[in-house]
Every structure is written in C-alpha cells, then in structure tokens.
Structure 1
Amino acid sequence: MSIFDKLKNLLGQGNEAAPPPAAPVETPAGPATQMERRTRERVNAREGTRALIIDDSPTIIAALAKILRSVGYVTLEAPDAEQGIEIARSQQPDLIFLDIVLPGMNGFAALRLMRRDPLTRNIPIVMMSGNEQATEQFFGTRIGADDFMKKPFSRLEVFARIERLLDSDLMPRRRITDATAAPPPPPAPPVA
C-alpha cells in the first residue's frame, strides 16, 4: 500500500480492502516473506572478523569489501589464487570468499590446496561464481567449500551466507561433515 493510500485510509477516504499479505519470496537463505526481511534482526559476526576476498575483478573486491566493512569486518584482498593462498597461510583470516574463475590457478584448485594445508584447512570458504551451473556448487561442496554464492550478489545474500557459518561465539566456523572432512594423513612408512 502506498503512502497516499495509507493517508486516505487514515482520513477515512479509502474504501478499498486491505491488500493481501506479501507472498513468500525465495531468498538465497531459504523461504521468507518480505515482511520478515525487514523485521528479522540479522546476526553478524563479531566486529574485527577478518575476511579474505580472492577475485580477479576489482569491482567485485570493492563491492564485497564495502559490504563487509560496513559492519566492522577487516578485509584482505587478493587478485589471484596464488596470492590468496599465501595471504590465507600468513594472515589466517576467519573467512574466505573465493572466486572460481581466476587467472592462473582456478578456485577449485586453490580450494583443494587450502583444504590439504594444515594452516588453512579449517577456514570456512564461500565459493563465488557468475556461472549459474549447479554443477559448480555441487563440485565445490564435494571438495570442501562451505557455501556457494552466485554473482552478482546482494548485501542480503552475503550476510545470509555468513550467518549460516556462525558459531555460538559469532565467529565463522566450518561445518565438518564426512563429505567435507579432510582426508586422513597417509600411514607412516614401515620402519626398516
């Protein structure tokens, strides 16, 4: 109902029946109504949470960094997988946003390397892609991605993805399952 219609109703000049409630809207985080989007309080990670953004698009990095910084995140940025892996190993971010299509090493190869590395294996990783193929999402989760976000993304979607990863201390954590668990270390060689 528009502001004008509300004024008419308040002044007793509107005889129309009230519009039906908003129909459910499918959001990336699941079904919701438009009303819930406005009234449900978002749960954010703690201020100072460090997020690494690995993407070759300066526009995507700038947009995602702006969204995250608006609620107190610290952002680290890398234009390719090699630099991203090095930053992840040295800076130990709390969360990583990883593009799939990157120059040089692609996001899937980077994800596999980070899941095998003891320094990065437990960092939650959200894969990103502009491609709508569901196979990317499936493959990413099979090799250890914690979530998948389609580009272009909205502010709502970014925070919905993060919220799903938060633990009781409001820090992003991996949800380890049998499918995403790191492989056991190889057996020790026999002693001769």
Structure 2
Amino acid sequence: MGILEQIRSLFRREPPSIAPAPTPAPTIATSAPQINERRGKERINAREGTRVLIIDDSKTIVTVLKKFLRSAGYETLEALDAESGLAQLHSHPPELIFLDIVLPGINGFAALRAIRRDPATRDIPVIMMSGNEQAMEQFFGTRIGADDFMKKPFSRYEVFFRIERLLDDDLIPRRAKPRIAESVTPTPSLT
C-alpha cells in the first residue's frame, strides 16, 4: 500500500485492512428488569385534602407550587401578598403555609410575626421561601418562628421533602419541634 492509499484510509470510516471486521459478541439477556427509580425511598404525603396556603407575589412560583401540591392530593389556597394571605387564614384555615419573604406591602417576616401572635393561627406550620442565598434570612425566619426554609428555585423533591419533615404520625403537618441546644463545655480561661 502506497503512502497516498494510507492517507486515504485514515479519512475513511472503514478499517484500512482487508480482513473482515470482527463480529460483535452476542449479548446475553438478563432476567432482572431494569428499574429507573428517581426516588431513593417512597415519598410520604400528608393525608388527602390537606389545605395549604401559598403566599408569594410571583405568579410563576404560585402556579408551580399549586401544580406540585394538587398532583399529590393537596387542596391549595393562593395569595399574591401578605395582606390577602392573612385574611384567608381566618376564612379558610390552612394546615400548612408556604410564605415568601420578599412581598409587596407587608413582608414575609412581618406576616410570620402576625401568624405567631394570633392564637388561632400560631400553631400552623410555616415554610418560608426566598430566592436570596443569604443564610441570615433563614436564621432570622427561624428565630421568629418559621418551621422550615426553602430556597428558590426549588425542585418538586425539595417541596415534598420539606413537607414530610413536618408530618406527624397521622400525616398531619405540625409545627417543628424546637431543636435542643447542644451542651457546650466551656473552655478554660487563658487569663
């Protein structure tokens, strides 16, 4: 084979040799079915018909949350600002609230304070939401009485993970139990 033929064979898709191409080994079918499961474990939902109030000024966030929740059998109420959300608390009491921090008018922190001060609503679990990456918002929200915090954008998995953490044995959302402060051994003074 001349040099010109060798160069041409490099640009062809077939091997340069004249020998027949090896046949692929036959594949052996396995009897075990391939399962493509996205979840590591079965999701636990609140009982059918659990009422959830979504307070967020973004229609997109409200629509996405509503779609996620309704597909799992939840009943949803929506509000685009804190004032109308707080008004719905008494007319249609929810069992869980998703509350955005940045809202027009009353912000999420002030709305959470109002929820916790009212004896009729103080025991409703609240999951606060924010697109801000600052951990300070999460810390401040838990100090006021938020039960959990979720960063936006969020996945379907995260929404149901947050809810599942608040479910009691009867699959009813309950306020998060306060975390027990770890005992800290004081360090000896260097003075």
Do the two structures share a fold, i.e. TM-score over 0.5?
Answer: yes
| 1:113 alignment counterpart | 114
Distance in 2 separating the partners of 1:177 and 1:114: 18
Q: CA 1:119–1:60 in structure 2 vs 1: closer, same or farther (change >3 Å)? A: same
| 1:145 alignment counterpart | 146
Moved over 4 A (4+): none
**Structure 2 portions without partners, runs of 5+:** 1-23, 29-35, 181-191
**Structure 1 portions without partners, runs of 5+:** 1-7, 13-34, 180-192
Root-mean-square deviation (Å): 2.2
| 1:57 alignment counterpart | 58
| 2:94 alignment counterpart | 93
Question: In the TM superposition, what are the counterparts of 1:117-132 in structure 2 within 5 Å?
Answer: 117-132=118-133
Pair 1:11 & 2:12 matched: no
| 1:5 alignment counterpart | none
Identity of aligned residues (%): 70
Question: In the TM superposition, what are the counterparts of 1:1-192 in structure 2 within 5 Å?
Answer: 11=27, 38-177=39-178
Deviations 1:82-127 (A, max 9, x none): 1111111221101000000000000000000100001110000000
| Aligned-residue offset at 1:10 | 8.2
Q: What is the TM-score normalised by the length of structure 2?
A: 0.74
Deviations 1:12-57 (A, max 9, x none): 5xxxxxxxxxxxxxxxxxxxxxx98534100000110000000001
Q: What is the TM-score normalised by the length of structure 1?
A: 0.74
